[in-house]
């Protein structure tokens, strides 16, 4: 069944689907790679009292969550567009919904990355790998949605 659905997706919409996967993978990677243990030494004994996740630091975490939620919404819209037995009357063309969601996701990922670059010192370097994955996912989504939008206007 998955192959049948995937066959209905155009080449430009596949970029959007890859971007959604990139956003989700980037978010999960940020949660894992952006954590650091808080340890202290008392009388030559090391004690770890917890961990801090720099990926969610300050307002950057809110933009990261917003990028994740909008990316998932774009994925759901794409699924509903190609799913069998779905007859949805969309308020506007689906390509415009995909383009709007993809651009919002990209802007949120860019703002999140900029905030994290100016955030606290001592953040794990691998956290920025997650930022790059989320940026790449947002860029793929935006590029694919833009190409689909241009193709719909040319037709």
Please count the CA atoms within 13 angstroms of the CA of 18 that sit on its side-chain side.
Answer: 14
pLDDT at residue 66 in the model: 93
- What is 2-154's CATH topology? Butyryl-CoA Dehydrogenase, subunit A; domain 3 (1.20.140)
pLDDT at residue 23 in the model: 93
Write out pLDDT tens, residues 15-35. 899 999 999 999 998 888 877
Spatial separation of the C-alpha atoms in residues 29 and 133, rounded to whole Å = 9
pLDDT at residue 103 in the model: 94
Task: Place 99 in a pLDDT band, splitting at 50, 70 and 90.
Answer: very high
Burial class (CB in 10 A: 0-12, 13-18, 19+), 51: exposed
pLDDT at residue 35 in the model: 79
Q: What value does the mean pLDDT of the chain take?
A: 86
pLDDT at residue 121 in the model: 67
Alpha helices in the chain (DSSP H): 2-8, 11-33, 58-82, 94-117, 127-154
Structure tokens at 113: 């990355």
Domain spans in the chain, listed from the N-terminal domain onward:
2-154
pLDDT at residue 38 in the model: 75
């Amino acid at each position: 069944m998955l192959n049948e659905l995937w066959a209905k997706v155009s080449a430009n919409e596949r970029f959007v689907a890859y971007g959604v996967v990139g956003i989700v993978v980037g978010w999960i990677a940020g949660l894992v790679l952006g954590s650091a243990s808080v340890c202290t030494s008392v009388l030559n004994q090391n004690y770890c009292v917890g961990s801090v996740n720099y990926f969610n630091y300050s307002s950057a975490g809110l933009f990261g969550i917003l990028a994740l939620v909008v990316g998932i919404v774009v994925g759901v819209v794409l699924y509903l567009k190609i799913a069998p037995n779905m007859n949805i009357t969309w308020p506007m063309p689906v390509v415009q919904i995909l383009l709007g969601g993809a651009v919002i996701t990209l802007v949120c990922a860019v703002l999140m990355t900029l905030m994290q670059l100016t955030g606290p010192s001592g953040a794990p370097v691998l956290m920025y790998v997650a930022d790059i994955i989320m940026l790449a996912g947002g860029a793929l989504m935006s590029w694919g949605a833009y190409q689909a939008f241009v193709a719909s206007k040319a037709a």
